[in-house]
A and B are shown apart, each in its own frame.
Chain A
């Protein structure tokens, strides 16, 4: 059973860059779409973007100017960078897999989430 695990700093200063990595275990990162989704405390889910194993990306237009995603197939990892963060970026960040290899599809596997706080 494929598992996802997010990792990265839990505290980021305002105006800096938030960097997170999602490690895929017990399965291959190849031939799937891998997504980042966030959830502010007590609020709903917001899709940030996705990356295919080949490196092609799609971003939410509301965040596109600040987001970069990358993939490292040799490490079975994909990453998120969010630049110029503010307190509004404080949230739990989840990584998730789209079920179908060709996409688009439902998110069948999720990481446990990692809390990121933006504060000085």
Chain B
């Protein structure tokens, strides 16, 4: 099973600040890494797929990069509505797995 480790677990940031969340895989997964945003009491929402592909309807301040074992989700100019939890997910090798989540809070 591929283990995904996100860092940090928690991040407190000011509005308009840049946020960087990292996801590290226990083995190479190519670009088969996806990012989701989950707000309280809602289902996850796909933000970025295949490491860096944008999703229609997702604000352009969200971007992704990386390949192999190291991936990054970047939120440029954080807005209040972005304060929530983010997960990475790999679809390289079954069983599909998720990172443990990163909670972003507004200072």
Residues of A within 8 A of B (CB): 35, 44-47, 49-50, 58-62, 94, 96, 98-99, 104-108, 110-113
In the complex, residue of chain A having the shortest beta-carbon distance to the beta carbon of B85: A44
A45 & B98 in contact (Cβ 8 Å cutoff): yes
Q: Which of B36, B43, B95 contacts A47 (CB 8 A)?
A: B95
Binding site of B, secondary structure by majority: helix, strand, loop or mixed?
Answer: loop
B interface residues, Cβ below 8 angstroms from A? 1, 32, 34, 36, 42-46, 49-50, 55, 87, 89, 91-92, 94-101
Q: Are B98 and A107 in contact (CB under 8 A)?
A: no
Chain B residues within 8 Å of A96, by CB: 43
Taking a contact as CB atoms under 8 Å apart, the answer to whether B43 and A60 are in contact is: no
Contact of A106 among B46, B97, B99 (CB under 8 A): B46
Rounded to whole angstroms, the CA-CA distance of A108 and B87 in the bound complex is: 14
7 residue pairs A–B, Cβ–Cβ below 8 Å: A45-B89, A47-B95, A94-B43, A104-B91, A104-B94, A105-B49, A112-B42
Partner of B101, one of A44, A49, A59: A44
With A58-B94, A105-B91, A106-B34 given, is the CB distance from A44 to B99 under 8 Å?
Answer: yes
The residue among A35, A45, A50, A110 with the most chain B CB atoms within 10 A of its own CB is: A45
Let me know if B95 and A58 touch, CB within 8 A: yes
